[in-house]
Each structure stands twice: as C-alpha cells, then as structure tokens.
Structure 1
Amino acid sequence: MSEPNSKPAWGLLQQDIVELLRAKYWNNTKNLKSLLTGNTAFPLQISLKPPKGNAALNHLSHFQEFVDSWRSFCEQAEDKSLHVKVNWDTVRFRMLSEQRVPTTMTISDITALAQMLGSKQERQLTDWQYRIAFIFDSLAIELLKRTVHPIKSNYEHELFIELIVNLEALSAFSDSDLKLLVKLIPQLYKGMGRGCYLRALPVIVVDTKFIEKNLRFIESVTSAIIDRSAKEVGLLSWLDCRDKPKDWLLVKPLCKNAEDALGGLPLLRMSSETLLSFELPAKNILVIENDQSCLSLDTIPDTIAVSGGGKNVSWMKANWLASKRVAYWGDIDSEGLAILSDVRSKLSTVIPLMMDSDTVEAYLDRMVDEPESVAKEPVALTDRELILFRMLRNGDFGCTRLEQERLPIDFVYEKLRLWAE
C-alpha cells in the first residue's frame, strides 16, 4: 500500500488539468497555432486519469478529493456557462460499491480552452480576435477602392491562415500599425518599385520604414490576398525593389590625383553592388581586409584602397579590375589565406602583399592565436601559400595568427610602394 501522504499518479485535479492544457496547447506555439487554424480539430478529449482496480482503496482521501473537486467544477461551469464538459462513468469498486467517477473532459472550442485556463488567456484570445476582425473588415472596405490591379477571389481562408502563422508579429502591432497595414496592402502590385530602393516605393499615407520593419508580415498578407508569388520570390523581388546595401566598403584614395578624380573626397563608402560596375580611377587597386589598416595609409602613387569587406570579396569579379594592378593584403592566418584564395578564384592576377612566411618569421614575437582555424584547405593558393596555411594551422610558429595591424608602418609602406611603383 502507498504512503498515505503521497499523491498518486491517477486522479488529476483541476489545477493539474489547467497546467497540462497550458503547457501542451497554449504555451506551445506550434500546437496553439494548429488549434487556431483547425489543423488540430476540436473537441479536445482530456483524460482525467480515473483510478483503476484497487487504486482508489489505497488513497481514499485523494479519491474523495478527486470526485468532489470535479463535482464542484461542474456546478461552477454551469453557473458560468463554460463550454467545457466533464464526462462521468459509473464504476463498481470492491468494498466501495458503485461510484460516479469523472473520466474525461471535453473542450468544445478555442474559447472554452481559454476560459479553462483563466482571464489572461481569455484576454489574449479576445485581442487576437479583435485584430483579425479589424484587418478583415477594414481590408474589405479598402480593397473596394482597388480598381486597376486584381486581387485573388476567396482570399479569406488563406489570409486567416497567414495571420495565425504570423501571430507573434500581429500581436505586436499597435492600433496605428493595423491601420497602416490595411491602407498599404491595397496599394501594392507586382513591379511597382521599378528598380528603386524600398524607401522610394511610391505609396501614400504609409511610411516606408513601416514596410521595412514589417517586411515578412506584409509579404505574407500580400501573398494571401494579391499574388502567391509575392511569398515565393520574396516581397522585394515581387515589388521590383533593390535590396538595401548591407556590405558598405571603405574606399580611400591614396594620392591626390585619385582623390581629385573622386570629387575631392578623402573617404567614401560604396556597396559591393556599386563596385561591380563602377571603375575606380587609379591604376593600382589595393584590397585590404581591415578598415583600420586602410585608414593608416596615405600617399601611395596612383592607388585607391578598398577595405572592410572581410570575407565578402564578391565584387572582385568586376570586369574593370582586369585592366588594373590589384593587390590583396590581409591577416596571415588560415582565414586570411582562405580569403586570399577566394580573391584569386575571382581575379587570377591578384598580387598578395605581406602574406608570406618571410613576414611571419620577421615578426614572430607579435603573433597571437587564431580563435578558430579554417578546416578545409583553400583551392586557389600557390604551393608556397598552401604550405604556409598548413604550418599556421598546425601551430608550427608557436601561434597561429599575425594580424596585419601588428606590422610596423615603415615596413608596410616599403612593401606597398615597391608594389605600386
């Protein structure tokens, strides 16, 4: 027989069921959305785990509490008109005669589930219902004004699904955000951006920062109402808007002629996309991994430096670079040599500067350890570079990285001027 004060595994009480429902359905985002969209069908049948065999005899007090608590719950549910039903069976127990025992709970719909869990969940559900109803009702009015570009017929179900899928974003919207959303969607049509940046999109009333901030949510709603391809290709592509540049590179002319040719600007930022087509006005192009190393330079004849790309060297496949003398200078470590390999795969004539074993040997005392070495051997290194890559990765120099910033400026200028002149 069990200890008298230990709680058995059978006979779930109301607080047990509430905790179970909250964990399994409400706090589990995937399960909650499945209920809201109808993928998981109501009614829910929840077992109350009634006792079996002689279990009730071993815990008579718990059995009585189990039965009484659900009898009391049924009375309260009836008074409050809860859409929750407790199902009872008549069970014959040895020494206890026949007993009416609660066996399962039936939860009829999402409203009943929220009622079961408490006022917080009821408020959440009411808030979601308000937001969804506002979008449906307001969009119906606004879409009537859309005369040129068609919308999908019978879009309501698809829109509802997308709103539930994006429930977190929808919940974060203020009332003013909801109004902006329903003003925006009817204005959108395929190709309206005409190759401009998103911030230049020709919309009225709505600010384009709102679009940028809520791009994925707007994409889902647009896909549901107007054109499914908006989600398939991405909203920016569907609108024919250019991506905002994310990879600004530092461009620094290193002589007066180059600076004059760039409008007298001593420093400027260009995106990788721009540099693919914009030819820099100097014979020598020096590509540097780190911005700080670039900023330390000045007075290199007929030279413009480009820095800050790190691993992003995609722009170096630009056709105009074929007519230039191009050098690359980065850290001497496995990652720096891997970037050099990537550069060479795009521009075979690139000249590496200060990325050799002689430089390492000269400044061994300035080396540090690379946080994590590149595992895969680069494919576009020379034999000597590949040997250096392996030696660095194996720790043959004691440490594994010589950062370009640790090289003395007089040494750097000597190497750069020899290359440039």
Structure 2
Amino acid sequence: MRSEKNSRPSWGILEQDAVALLRARYWNNRKTLKKLLIDNAYFPIRISLKPPKGNAALNDISHFQAFVASWKSFCEKAENESKQVNVRWDNVTFRSLSEQMVPAYLTIPDISSLARILGDAEERQLRDWQSRIAYIFDVLPVELATGTVHPVSTTAERELFSALIANLETLSDFSESDMILLVKLIPQLHKSMGRGCYLRALPVIFVDTKFIEKNLKFIESITAAIIDPTANDMGLLNWLDCKNKPKDWLLVRPLCKKTTDSLGGLPLLRLSSETLLNFELPAKNILVIENEQSCLSLENIPDTIAVSGGGKNTSWMRASWLANKRVGYWGDIDSEGLGILSDVRSKLSTVIPLMMDSATVDAYRERMVNEPESVTREPVALNDHELMLFSMLRNGDFGSTRLEQERLPMDYVYEKVRLWAG
C-alpha cells in the first residue's frame, strides 16, 4: 500500500515538503551551506511551489485545497513571527473552479531567514556559529564593525571569515577553552619561528603544542588569512620551519655481539627513514626484512644489522652509505613481496634477495596460502627468474599464491642468511 506522501500528485508542494527540500538542498549539504554563509550573493533563494496547471486541480481537489491552506497558514505564521520570507501568490482561473489565488514561489532573502524557516535546531546552530565567529573577530587583531555572521569588508576580514566558514566543522567542535587557545596562539605565530625543530618544541606561551598538532589545517587557514598567505602554499609546518614528526619508524636490530657493542650495547632500537638516510649503521652486512617478527627470530649472524618493519616503505634505501655494504632483502614470496623487492632494487641495484625464489617455493609449497590481493602491474626492476616467479604466482601455478616468510623453518633460514653473510 502506498504511503500518503507517495500518493500525492507531482504538483502542489506543501509547507513541510518545501522545508524538507530546503534542509536537504541548502542546510545539510555542507558545501552549499558554506557558500551561502560566505557570500550573500547566493540569495535570495527561490523555489517553485509547483502550482497546478490545466485540469490538475480539479482532478485532485482535496490536494489542491490542502496546498492552498498549507501556504495560507504559513503566511499567517510568518507574519506573526516576523519571518522575512515571501510567498508569491498568482491569480489563476481554473475551469469549473473560477478564479483562485494560488501560491507560486517561496523566496528566502538571507541565511537567517533560511534558518528560521527550517526550525529551532537550525536557528540555534546559526546563532552558535555567529557567536564563535564574532568572538574570534573581536579578540584577534582584525578590525570588524559588527559581530554578526555576514561577509566582511576588508580583504583580511574576508579571508578570515572565509577560513572560519571553510573549517566550520572544526569550529563547531571547539570547546570554550579551545577558542581561548586559538586566539592566544595566532598572534604569536610568525614565519620560520620553529628554526628546524619539531612542532612540539615550538616556542609559544600559554598554548600547548598538542593543540596545534591536532588542529594544524585550521590554524594554517587562519594564519594564511591574517598573517601570511604563503602559509597555505607552503603548509604550516614548512612555514614555521618545523620538521615533520617521524611516522615511519623502523626496527633496527644488531645480530651479533660486535654490532651490538657498536650501537652502545642496545639490542633493539627504532629509527625513522629520514634518520637512516643519513646515519650509517656500523656493520658490513645490512639485512632488510619485511616482517618484524622474522627479524626478531634471528641471532648470531656475523657483522650484521637487520632493519625491518618498513613494508612498502623503502625510501631510506636511497642512502649513499648503503653502496659500501653487503645488503640483503628478505620478504614474503608473493606478488606484493616481489613488488617491494623491485622497489628496493630500483634504489639499490646491488641488493641480494634471500629466499625469494622458485626453489624455496618448491621446497615448502604445502605451506602456501592465498594472497588477499594480487599486484597486477609487472614490477620493473626484477630479473628474468624473478619475473617468471611473479607471473607463476599471479597465475596460481603453485596452487596458492603466497609463501609467507614466517612459514619457513629456522634451520633453512639460518642456512641461507649465514651463507649470504659470509
């Protein structure tokens, strides 16, 4: 059975349907709403109420009566509540119904009127935005003649207003203490003040640097608006001259007493890719291992330091100091593992792959599983044997498509690694 709403004709939009349309099209659509908040030129909004044509009204007289009554009631409420909206009524003559005044268009002049017609929740939301924006304009060193939400006059004011609206979601979530931190922070910022330090060491007072880290893009937008437009182009961290916090920590593990002693007796440490680009590890042999657990299983490998946990991150292997080392790479035997090997070789042509060959697959084929997703693009830096293995794995020639490095027995692993290490 069709609902009442679905059984209505396509003409004659009732008040509640117009409100729902406005909410969906203009308020709940954040991209459109931000345009309306920033630029009053998008007003007035005018929507057709789809008055009936021809014999349509006569064919559904009850809907016609409900249509007219709905907008008469709306106009009476709007007049009583001083809502600045306008319904245009047209004088239309219908056959068998004589002359009738019919609602034709609804016109909404500004953002405040839109909020009022939508309801109490939207009005409260708009007032909250107005209050927050007025506070920022009142406290920050940007002149503003009035404290309401509307396009402002000077270039700096317009840029700041646009930045706040663009970050409306962040602004809405700010607590009172967050608002105070924001207006205390912005006047302290100036270009290159970080002097090459990490963000957490930025010399600011009153404001904690975790607040900056959490709201980096928002602060960047405001900084660009009222201090220096290049903050947007450079990114706030670069503009401040702060280093990015390392995200790609690698596990570094010496595999013999000699290399442990050379690292101050540390059995394990974490270094970032950026650090490893410039810090030469004190060992003749550097063993790069895809999986950290496989790295932790090794010991007593002469003059060797293992680096693991990078996965697809092989950027540090451009390091010039690696050219003077014997470098091995050990990863899973699957399309992704061979793809990573290709990336490694493209950065270091002398790398030696370990246990990533068809002989290893043949020996332990029964331990294979299926790779969740297969790399389809052929890696560019594999040799002929590796390319053949890549194709056979991708085609399922071994029955399954992945031999994980953890599935290899340790006696086999030690034999291969010690042979490589000399």
Alignment TM class, shorter chain as reference: over 0.9
Q: SS at 2:243's partner residue?
A: coil
Shift of 1:15: 0.5
Q: SS at 1:140's partner residue?
A: coil
* 2:267 paired with 1:266: yes
Q: What is aligned with 1:363?
A: 364
Deviation larger for 322-331 or 69-78: 69-78
Which amino acid in the other structure matches residue 32 of structure 2?
A: N
CA distance in 1, matches of 2:348, 2:73: 80
Which amino acid in the other structure matches residue 88 of structure 2?
A: N
Would you say the 8 A contact 2:142–2:157 is kept in 1? no
* 2:385 paired with 1:388: no
Q: Identify unmatched segments of 5+ residues in structure 1.
A: 143-152
Q: What is aligned with 2:170?
A: 169
Which amino acid in the other structure matches residue 180 of structure 2?
A: K
CA distance in 2, matches of 1:244, 1:181: 22
Which amino acid in the other structure matches residue 348 of structure 1?
A: S
Which amino acid in the other structure matches residue 106 of structure 1?
A: T
Shift of 1:338: 1.1
For each residue in 1:301-344, what CA deviation from the matched residue of structure 2 results, as whole angstroms up to 9, or x when unmatched? 11100000011111011011111111111111111111111111
Deviation larger for 236-245 or 63-72: 63-72
Shift of 1:74: 1.1
CA distance in 1, matches of 2:201, 2:15: 57
Q: What is aligned with 2:146?
A: none
CA distance in 1, matches of 2:97, 2:214: 66
For each residue in 1:174-225, what CA deviation from the matched residue of structure 2 results, as whole angstroms up to 9, or x when unmatched? 1111111111111111111111111111111110000000001111111111
What's the RMSD between the two structures over aligned residues?
Answer: 1.7
Shift of 1:139: 0.5
The 5-angstrom pairing of residues 27-38 of structure 1 reads: 27-38=28-39
Q: SS at 2:42's partner residue?
A: coil
Q: What is aligned with 1:148?
A: none
Q: What is aligned with 2:322?
A: 321
Would you say the 8 A contact 1:193–1:239 is kept in 2? yes
Shift of 1:154: 3.7
Shift of 1:39: 6.8
Deviation larger for 306-315 or 31-40: 31-40
**How many aligned positions are there?**
409
Shift of the 344–313 alpha-carbon distance from structure 1 to 2, 3 Å rule, reads same
Would you say the 8 A contact 1:87–1:104 is kept in 2? yes
Deviation larger for 299-308 or 64-73: 64-73
Shift of the 26–412 alpha-carbon distance from structure 1 to 2, 3 Å rule, reads same
Q: What is aligned with 2:402?
A: 401
For each residue in 1:16-37, what CA deviation from the matched residue of structure 2 results, as whole angstroms up to 9, or x when unmatched? 1111111111111111111111
CA distance in 2, matches of 1:56, 1:362: 83
CA distance in 2, matches of 1:279, 1:8: 77
Shift of 1:40: 5.5
CA distance in 2, matches of 1:92, 1:339: 77
* 2:220 paired with 1:219: yes
Would you say the 8 A contact 1:252–1:268 is kept in 2? yes
TM-score for both structures, normalised by structure 2? 0.94
Q: What is aligned with 2:67?
A: 66
Q: SS at 2:197's partner residue?
A: coil
CA distance in 1, matches of 2:317, 2:65: 79
TM-score for both structures, normalised by structure 1? 0.94
CA distance in 1, matches of 2:329, 2:102: 81
CA distance in 2, matches of 1:212, 1:286: 35
Would you say the 8 A contact 2:142–2:156 is kept in 1? no
Shift of 1:7: 2.0
Q: % of aligned pairs identical? A: 73
Q: Identify unmatched segments of 5+ residues in structure 2.
A: 144-153
